[in-house]
Amino acid sequence: MGIKQKCSRKYTMLMRIYIFMLAFIVLCAAVIFGVEGIRSGAFAAGGVCVLLCAAAIAAPVSSGRITYARTGGCISIERGVLVRRRLIINRSDIRYSEISGSPMERRLGICTVTFFTGGGAVKLRGINSDDGRRLNYLFGGEAAD
């Protein structure tokens, strides 16, 4: 197998930012819909605690477990926290591929590469933009023919 590469640490930071934004929205919703008394405070405190724990624990664990390796004419993608799944995609099975990313991902220099095969779309999230362009060139477009 080739050299294993992990998703970028910037992707973990992006996941934490998204979770903190959700915690802020939950807090604002508790204030806006403000049920009088203890229920509003319990809702806000519980929601914010759950989301902050997710930012501290779940984001780094889940994004740190995404690895991929490129060897010869195939790419191997491993992901999953509790149950590891390995996808091996041959170059001949890929119809085309595309690179996408939100404005925040582009600002951080990371992207998502989607490989379209006969069985469906396979997404590889949180990799560096240079690696994404290289994978898109090697496994999609003219190189796959």
Give 118-138 pLDDT, tens digit per residue. Answer: 888 988 888 888 888 888 888
Phi, psi dihedral angles at 73 (to 5 degrees) = -105, 20
Strands (E) located in the chain: 5-6, 67-71, 74-79, 85-90, 94-100, 110-117, 120-128
CB environment 97-114: b (16+ within 10 A), e (fewer): beeebeeebeebebbbbb
Pick the CATH number of 67-144 from 3.30.310, 2.30.29, 2.40.10, 3.30.70: 2.30.29
CATH 2.30.29 in the chain, residues? 67-144
Report the candidate in 56, 50, 62 with the shortest Cα–Cα distance to residue 11. 62
110 DSSP β-pair partners: 128
Q: What is the pLDDT of residues 38-89, one digit of tens each?
A: 566 666 677 777 777 766 666 566 555 677 888 778 888 887 766 778 888 8
DSSP state letters, 83-108: S-EEEEEEGGGEEEEEEE--HHHHHH
* The residue type at 96: Y
